[in-house]
Structure 1
Amino acid sequence: MAEKIGRIAEGPSFLTNPKLSLVCFGGKGGVGKTTSAAAAALYLADTNPQKRILLASIDPAHSLMDSLLVADTFKNLMVWEIDAQASFQKFMVKHGNTLERIMERGTFLDDEDISALLSTSLPGIDELMGMVELVDLLENDAYDVIVLDTAPTGHAIKFLQMPHLIKKWTRLLDLMMEKYRYMSKLYARRYRADDTDAFIKAFSSGAKRVERILRNASCEFVPVLLPEALSVNETKRFLSTLEKQKIPVKNIIVNRINPFGNCSFCNEQYLLQKKYIDEIKRCFAAYNVLLMPLYKDEIHGRESLLMFARAMADADCLNHSAANRITPPLSFCTKESAGRENGDLNPSPVAISPPLPFPAAEEASDREIKESANHFPIPKSTIKLLMFGGKGGVGKTTIAGATALFLSEAYPEKRILLFSADPAHSLSDCLDVTMGNDRLHLKNNLYVQEMDAEKEFEKLKSLYSEEIKDFMSSLVNGEAAVNVVFEREIIESFIDMTPPGIDEVMAIAAIIDSMDKGDFDLFILDTAPTGHLIRFLEMPELALDWLKFFFTLFLKYKSIFRMSRLSAFLVDLSKKIKRLLTVLRDGEQSLFVPIAIPTEMAYNETSDLLLAVKHLKIAVSQIILNMAHPNHRQNAVLGECALCTNRIAYEKMIFDTFKQLFPGEPLYRICRQEGEVTGIKALHHLGMELYG
């Protein structure tokens, strides 16, 4: 206990521990990971001018620059938003020839086959290239501290699993070379190591080094969460994964806690949060919990982020004082009033920016009120695939669930499947039900499923293994017996060379399989956050390119490879993917519903998402702006609250900005709910409110 109190007095370790070389921030989408990572990096650069700091993002939906506003903050701080495709091209330019020689020596493929394989688009390389870049950074010792802004939970876990995958790949490459080494010793009496061996050794040792660093005292993972049901439950699962992988966690950031004072709305919001704050303190007692307040303004820009970082340092002492009791945050009180409430404790910081001018009553949001009174249009009956997407934390799962419940009553003749493609599923948390491995019959004509992409991929691996077993048995006689030991290991391990996104391709195929069988008439998809949603929607095209290569290969070597079941499986998979593309591009059958919250960062990310979705020729509906502050006309007390006054004025400006994305169309706004929106009853009520 004395050691913990001493550590608390020093401030959170990710800001004060001089031995740290890698600090990772992660958690559910939209909880403030990027803000926390950017603030920590700025603080470290400011307080350690002698150190070289790198702030990097591996989330394909980058928002570091949206948070920082400018890259030039401190001379000793570099900012890098990792571009997976650019990193892959750089990797291939540097190592492509070496990989070609390894495959030339260790496989039956000719130059044309190898060149085609290495140039084929790879589904799901974001996490892989993020890890490859991290390996390079740590190998080169270019920075003293790397602060990493990770993708939302599901894909952050995939990223952390990449060292294991890289080791499997390097083992396969080494197997290919082992055959060549054996043959060289057999016929030339010697083997001289060259750059191929050096590449395999360096790549393998790099992955092992990252794995060691992730598990030792020079690394710290900092989970960020909100005091809400979905966020708390996802963090529990995330912490369990981090513990299994032996990745150090010492601090947890609980973000955006409402103030408690004279405003009835803020008090209601705080009381909703408090039961989860209590749960967090109870369940995460082994960690140092930092309670961060909700600010009047969006946190971005150097000074605002530094203020946030200093608050993280101060919050540490605040949280554990007075016998570890929880004190309502006082982020908008004066120093004098804070002193009265908390003795000699420093108050939580106030926002840097001055309050925005509040619109006069006569020009207050008449138009917005009118628009929000309208109901969101019910999707037409021809729609087969309804997708909800947007930045993490905007309420995609909640609105998808509310929509499914409403449409199950609006279209009682339709069988509806509500399913999630996000690796970090939260549908069961949102619906407050227990999900097994199969579909759950929720009510009447509505079913729910959380897609298990890895389980679908295991089906392909199982089929491949069976085919390889039969194929290898034909090679044990005659001249082929000389190489059979090497060929067996190489070919059996070749399935490990499949790109990391292939499991998502298999999940897509499962959806199409259900469509073909007529199991359901309407599929409602709760998607992953922006970056990985775009990847998911691009996946069918990439998968077709990948399958095309293997079809060409099977045709070319059909006299050798007689894998009839695997070939039939891949042909069927290709047909399913083509059918999905047909559905996605047909505005009568498919519809994408963008969801956002009224913040500048959400606007920037939504703009990018809409461009990508329209480029893929997918029909887009009007936008839903969720979690808006209720208008002060609806609650006179809000007009007297500094937080509410500022947020309403700020959101008015953001609403006008969002209108540029949908000129001439109404904005559909959902205000922050007075109660918690979890469970079937609450979601049904929200669905009625949204659709009427």
Structure 2
Amino acid sequence: MNRLQTVIYPQNGERKNLFFSGKGGVGKTSMACITAVETAKKGYKTLLMTTDPAAHIGNVLDKPVSDEITKIDGLENLYAVKIDQKKATQAYKEKVLQDAEGKFDQHTIMAMKEELDSPCTEEMAAFQKFVDFASRDDFQVIIFDTAPTGHTLRLLELPMDWSKQIQLKAGASTNVTEEDKKQQERFDKVLDMMKDKKTTTFSFVMYPEKTPIIEAYRASKELETLDIKTQLVVANLIIPEEQALTPFYKKRRAMQLEYIEEINNTFEDAELLKVPMFEDEIKGLEMLIEIGKKIFDGGDRNE
């Protein structure tokens, strides 16, 4: 098994968690779907998840996906779920405020409501849903489309449940309950899992141009402050050599090859996966299986 395969497939019977991140439009949802189909095809029970409201994993799989874990027909071992961020955020807000009722005065509760309207709440609520799924032990591979930022993860490293931090910001004080401690233990367990390079692979998807490389590098450095290393980088939408026939496409491909070298040098400790541009829309299990064969079987950064 080569190094690329060790960051994709589970090792020694342990579960593998794969996170795909990157700026909008670089193809991270397609890559998450391709990888999920690949691991399922290899016999690993796989859960594909997303919290991105713009994600279209159902369209890429060409199968219905809801906010309940769904078995994907047509491929053994593949399951998918789309976390509804609005519903998750609303449920999270309601729980925090319900816990506060009867404990604090209306002024404090109003201040808490203002705190809960921040974008951080959406991140936290979505990640709590992820923690619920990641705490399960009935999947061998979990693939997460749109990885949490270092900012979100730092919220989880606070010394108690984040809802209690909101209360403190609002000027209230509260004791940490047994339920809070259990929740924090679950967060800590998932964070430890995400820092374990043997069980978790963080990946950045980018097309080979300057801006996506810079943005991915900045995000990877933010994660490094939490001891989370980037182990896989995906150079997507590469013009195939046999298609670079006109001066325009020859020049574009030459530019891409230079940026691929820059990606290699910038993320020197990560495996590089090169993915060509396809003439058809990436859609359906059959096409995803064929792409997986093309890019994963026997591939490594030196090919």
Which residue of 11, 27, 36 maps to 2:5?
A: 11
Q: How many residues were matched structurally?
A: 286
Structure 1 residues 58-77: aligned runs within 5 Å: 58-71=51-64, 72-73=72-73, 74-77=75-78
- What CA distance in whole angstroms lies between the structure 1 residues aligned with 2:116 and 2:266? 44
Cα distance change on mapping 1:289 and 1:119 into 2, 3 Å: closer
**Cα distance, 1:140 vs. partner?**
4.0
Equivalent residue, structure 1, for 2:128: 132
Deviations 1:279-335 (A, max 9, x none): 222232322211111111121211112222222313624x425xxxxxxxxxxxxxx
In structure 2, do the counterparts of structure 1 residues 119 and 167 end up closer, same or farther at CA, with 3 Å as the change threshold?
same
1:235 to partner: Cα distance: 2.0
Residue pairs, 1:263-274, within 5 angstroms: 263-264=245-246, 265-274=248-257
1:239 aligns with 2:220: yes
Contact 1:15 1:43 in 2 (8 A): no
Q: Pick one of 293, 297, 301 that aligns with 1:310.
A: 293
Q: Which amino acid aligns with 1:11?
A: Q
Match of 1:278 among 248, 258, 261: 261
Q: Distance in 1 between matches of 2:2 and 2:160?
A: 36
2:15 equivalent to 1:35: no
Give the letter for the 2:206 counterpart.
L
Q: Distance between the aligned counterparts of 2:205 and 2:179, measured in 1?
A: 37
Structure 1 length normalisation: TM-score?
0.38
Give the Cα–Cα distance (whole angstroms) in 1 for the partners of residues 97 and 270 of structure 2. 45
Separation (CA, whole Å) in 1 of partners of 2:31 and 2:9: 11
2:173 maps to what in 1? 176
Instruction: Report the residue type matching 2:100 in the other structure.
Output: E
Give the aligned partner of residue 164 of structure 1. Answer: 157
1:316 maps to amino acid:
G
Corresponding letter in the other structure for 1:35: S
CA distance in 1, matches of 2:111, 2:174: 20
CA contact (8 A) 2:97 2:109 kept: no
Higher helix share: 1
Change (3 A) 1:11 1:211: closer
The residue correspondences of 1:148-297 to structure 2 (distance < 5 A) are 148-150=144-146, 156-164=149-157, 167=160, 169=162, 172=165, 176-178=173-175, 197-216=177-196, 217-261=198-242, 263-264=245-246, 265-297=248-280
Quick one: distance in 1 between partners of 2:292 and 2:24? Answer: 20
Report the Cα distance in structure 2 between the residues aligned to 1:126 and 1:95, rounded to whole angstroms: 13
* Distance of 2:160 and 2:115 partners within structure 1: 22
Aligned letter for 1:137?
F
Alpha-carbon distance in structure 2 between the residues aligned to 1:171 and 1:60: 27
Paired residue for 2:282? 299
Structure 1: gaps spanning 5 or more residues: 1-5, 179-195, 322-692
**1:58, 1:130 within 8 Å by CA — same for their partners in 2?**
yes
Change (3 A) 1:171 1:268: same
**CA–CA distance in structure 2, aligned partners of residues 292 and 12 of structure 1:** 18
Higher relative contact order (CA 8 A, sep 6+): 2
Residue type of the alignment partner of 1:66? N
**Structure 1 residue matching 2:81: 3-state secondary structure:** strand
Q: Secondary structure at the match of 1:54?
A: strand
- SS of equivalent to 2:18: strand
Aligned to 1:85: 86
CA deviations 1:408-466 (Å, max 9, x no partner) are: xxxxxxxxxxxxxxxxxxxxxxxxxxxxxxxxxxxxxxxxxxxxxxxxxxxxxxxxxxx
Residues in 1 aligned to 2:96 and 2:16: alpha-carbon distance in whole angstroms: 27
Q: Pick closer, same or farther for the CA change 1:300–1:315 going to 2, 3 Å.
A: farther
Task: Report the TM-score, using the length of structure 2 for normalisation.
Answer: 0.81
Decide whether aligned partners of structure 1 residues 126 and 305 sit closer, same or farther in structure 2, where only a CA change above 3 A counts: farther
Over the aligned positions, Cα root-mean-square deviation in angstroms equals 3.1
Distance 1:285 1:206 in 2: 33
Aligned partner letter, 1:14:
I
Contact 2:149/2:219 (<8 A) preserved: no
Letter in 2 for 1:232: I
Is residue 145 of structure 1 aligned with residue 146 of structure 2? no
Cα distance change on mapping 1:241 and 1:312 into 2, 3 Å: farther
The structure with more radius of gyration: 1
- Provide closer, same or farther for how the CA distance between residues 276 and 201 of structure 1 changes in structure 2, counting only shifts above 3 A: same
Q: 1:177 is paired with a residue of what secondary structure?
A: coil
How far residue 113 of structure 1 moved from its aligned partner, in angstroms, is 6.5
**Contact 1:58–1:126 (8 Å) recurs in 2:** no
Percent sequence identity over aligned pairs? 24
Structure 2: gaps of 5 or more residues: 65-71
